[in-house]
Structure formats: structure tokens, C-alpha cells
């Protein structure tokens, strides 16, 4: 049995698993809060090392990170949410673990997992949209995962739907633009907007969801975010015409409270293309880790 290490460096939490490369069965897992800046990679290294010490050696590792990624040089180029720039993540983690390390974009790998073994299986045209600390998407067109170029001249990551402007008069996004989808409809934006409206700090978007049935202000914040998200999905549908859109990330655990109104709004607003089917990610919060394990296993082949 050959084991691989999968690590998902998220905006708030770093998660890691050791899994069997053939069956995907998880033998060990752990998580730690995500520090700000390049320290996040050091924290990922420590977490991975602790799992390897406890569970035994691995043959390879797959690490996924947000933002702009240079896959070929294994550099975490930029993340506005975590606050790093040009971090040689692959080199650092390979030295820490002593095994080959592949580095890739978090949402791309989560979408890859959903397309191969999750809610997107069987669809030749699919978009995976992750809604968490930020918002991004992975795209499958005509049976191929779209991948951007990567190199010293710069990295291009297709699917950055979180930075499509949907509310021009909205709040300033971490990227510097105003009214990006990520700035108004991400899980962190929902919590932030509710706190600004009410003066009450909440732990996250799910707290706003729980308050919505009996709190008019919470309901308005939630409805506004879902409406903005629908506008973003309509742009995505108009440009790329996916047959299926899979919703993942932390906000996807809201289930029908998110999906039912979202489906209605998308159906009402799509005018040119066929209306895509919407589904919740089958891998749930593990979609990124499932993709990171696929990434690590690809090194063995």
C-alpha cells in the first residue's frame, strides 16, 4: 500500500490527510489555523510532518493553495486573502518532508476531484465554484480541464470568477477593485456585511444563515449575497455554457437554503444559453483534499 500526503492551505484553515494512493482511503488527518503570510507554508510543513511521524512514510505530496500559482516552479505567487507573495512553497515543503511535492491551485484541484469522482462526473462541460473565504472556479470545457499558462513571465489562472465585478458601487475587494463577487458574496463577505449592518460580530456566514429566519437584517444580507452570486453564475453561464455548475466550499453546507433560491434566480436571469443544472459538491469540504491526493498520486505515475 502506497500512501500520499494531501495538504489544502485555505484562507482560514490548513487541512492535511494521508491517504492510500490507489483507493483514496484516508489513514490520518489533521488541521491547524492558517497564519498570515509566508508563515502559512511553514505551518503546512509542520502539520504534514506531524502526520508523517504518526502514520509512517509517504511516497509523494500534493499541496494546493489559493490565489495565483506558478505550477512549474512550484511558487505561491500571490494570495490577497493569506497575504503572501512569491513564496517557494514546493521547495520549502520538499525539504521538510523529503518526498516529491507538486503544487497547484486549490479550486482547480477541487474541481478536478468533483469532475473525476464527484458531482461533475459524466459532464463534458462543467464549472466548479468554490465559495469560502474567497470565490473562484475551475472549468471543464469539451471534456478538458482548462489550465492557464505558468512561467517566469506570469501565471494565468482561468476561472477567477470571484473578481468579476457584479456590484460596481460595492465594497473594495482585496484585489483593489470595487464590487467584485468575492467582496459581496463570499462567506467572509457575508459575515463582514452583517457585522457592519448590525454592529454584532459573528463567527461566519453560517451564523448569518441561522439568524435569517428571525432577523430581517440577516435575511437581507443573505438574500443580497445570493442575488450577487446568481449574477456571477449568469456571467459564467453566458460565456462558457456549462451543462452543470457544482457549488463547493464552506457556504455549500447551507444546502437548500442556498441552492433553492440560487437555482430560481439563475433560471430567471439566464437569457442566451441553456440553463445549467446546479449541484452541491459530492466531496463537500474535502473536495480540495481529494484533488490534492490526485495531484500527489500523479507524481507516482
Q: Which three cell numbers stand for residue 2?
A: 502506497
Count of Cβ atoms closer than 10 Å to residue 73 Cβ: 17
Ordered structural domains, the chain, with CATH: 3-109+285-300 (3.30.420.40), 122-281 (3.30.420.40)
Going residue by residue through the chain (301 aa), what tens digit of pLDDT does each one get? 899 999 999 888 999 999 998 888 999 999 999 999 999 999 999 999 999 999 999 999 999 998 888 999 999 998 877 999 999 999 999 999 999 999 999 999 999 999 999 999 999 999 999 998 889 999 999 999 988 765 544 456 778 899 999 999 999 998 899 999 999 999 999 999 999 999 998 999 999 999 999 999 999 999 999 999 999 999 999 999 999 999 999 899 999 999 999 999 999 999 999 999 999 999 998 999 999 999 999 999 7
DSSP three-state, residue 13: strand
CA distance 76 to 65: 7
pTM above 0.75, yes or no: yes
Contact (CB, 8 A) for 250 and 205: yes
CA distance 209 to 221: 9
CA distances from 126 to 6, 90, 98, 153 (A): 24, 29, 36, 29
> What are the strands of the beta sheet with 135-141, ordered from one edge?
144-145, 135-141, 126-131, 244-248, 277-280
Count of Cβ atoms closer than 10 Å to residue 124 Cβ: 14
- Residues near 133 by beta carbon (within 8 Å), at least 6 away in sequence: 10, 11, 12, 66, 81, 186, 187, 188, 250
DSSP three-state, residue 11: coil
Contact (CB, 8 A) for 33 and 7: no
Burial status of residue 19 (CB atoms within 10 A of its CB: 0-12, 13-18, 19 or more) = buried
CA distance 151 to 161: 22
Burial status of residue 301 (CB atoms within 10 A of its CB: 0-12, 13-18, 19 or more) = exposed
For every residue of 98-163, DSSP letters joined together read SS-EEEEEHHHHHHHHHHHHSTTTT-SSEEEEEESSSEEEEEEETTEE-----STT----TT-GGG
- CA-closest candidate to residue 15, choices 234, 283, 247, 206: 283
CA distance 26 to 298: 17
φ and ψ at residue 287, rounded to 5 degrees = -60, -45
- CA-closest candidate to residue 203, choices 213, 175, 259, 211: 211
- CA-closest candidate to residue 246, choices 79, 117, 69: 117
User: For residue 153, what pLDDT is reported?
Assistant: 44
Q: Which three cell numbers stand for residue 253?
A: 453546507
- CA-closest candidate to residue 130, choices 16, 291, 270: 291
Contact (CB, 8 A) for 139 and 145: yes
Count of Cβ atoms closer than 10 Å to residue 91 Cβ: 15
- Residues near 29 by beta carbon (within 8 Å), at least 6 away in sequence: 15, 16, 17, 18, 51
Amino acid at each position: 500500500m502506497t500512501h500520499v500526503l494531501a495538504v489544502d492551505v485555505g484562507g482560514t484553515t490548513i487541512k492535511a490527510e494521508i491517504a492510500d494512493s490507489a483507493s483514496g482511503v484516508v489513514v490520518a488527518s489533521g488541521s491547524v489555523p492558517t497564519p498570515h503570510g509566508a508563515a502559512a507554508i511553514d505551518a503546512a510543513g509542520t502539520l504534514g510532518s506531524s502526520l508523517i511521524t504518526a502514520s509512517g512514510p509517504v511516497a509523494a505530496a500534493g499541496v494546493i493553495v489559493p490565489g495565483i500559482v506558478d505550477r512549474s516552479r512550484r511558487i505561491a505567487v500571490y494570495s490577497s486573502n493569506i497575504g503572501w507573495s512569491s513564496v517557494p512553497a514546493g521547495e520549502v515543503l520538499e525539504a521538510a518532508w523529503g518526498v516529491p511535492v507538486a503544487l497547484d491551485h486549490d479550486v482547480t484541484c477541487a474541481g478536478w476531484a468533483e469532475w473525476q469522482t464527484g458531482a461533475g462526473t459524466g459532464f463534458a462541460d462543467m464549472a466548479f465554484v468554490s465559495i469560502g473565504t474567497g470565490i473562484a472556479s475551475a472549468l471543464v470545457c469539451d471534456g478538458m480541464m482548462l489550465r492557464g499558462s505558468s512561467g517566469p513571465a506570469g501565471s494565468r489562472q482561468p476561472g477567477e470568477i470571484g473578481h468579476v465585478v457584479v456590484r460596481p458601487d460595492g465594497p473594495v475587494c482585496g484585489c483593489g477593485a470595487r464590487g467584485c463577487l468575492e467582496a459581496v458574496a463570499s462567506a467572509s463577505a457575508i459575515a463582514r456585511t452583517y457585522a457592519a449592518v448590525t454592529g454584532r460580530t459573528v463567527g461566519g456566514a453560517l451564523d448569518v444563515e441561522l439568524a435569517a429566519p428571525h432577523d430581517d437584517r440577516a435575511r437581507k444580507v443573505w438574500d443580497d449575497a445570493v442575488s450577487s452570486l446568481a449574477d456571477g453564475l449568469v456571467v459564467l453561464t453566458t460565456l462558457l455554457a456549462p451543462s452543470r455548475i457544482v457549488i463547493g466550499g464552506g457556504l455549500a453546507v447551507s444546502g437548500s437554503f442556498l441552492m433553492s433560491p440560487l437555482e430560481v434566480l439563475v433560471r430567471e436571469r439566464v437569457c442566451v444559453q441553456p440553463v445549467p443544472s446546479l449541484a452541491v459538491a459530492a466531496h463537500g469540504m474535502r473536495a480540495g483534499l481529494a484533488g490534492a491526493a490526485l495531484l500527489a498520486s500523479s507524481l507516482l505515475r
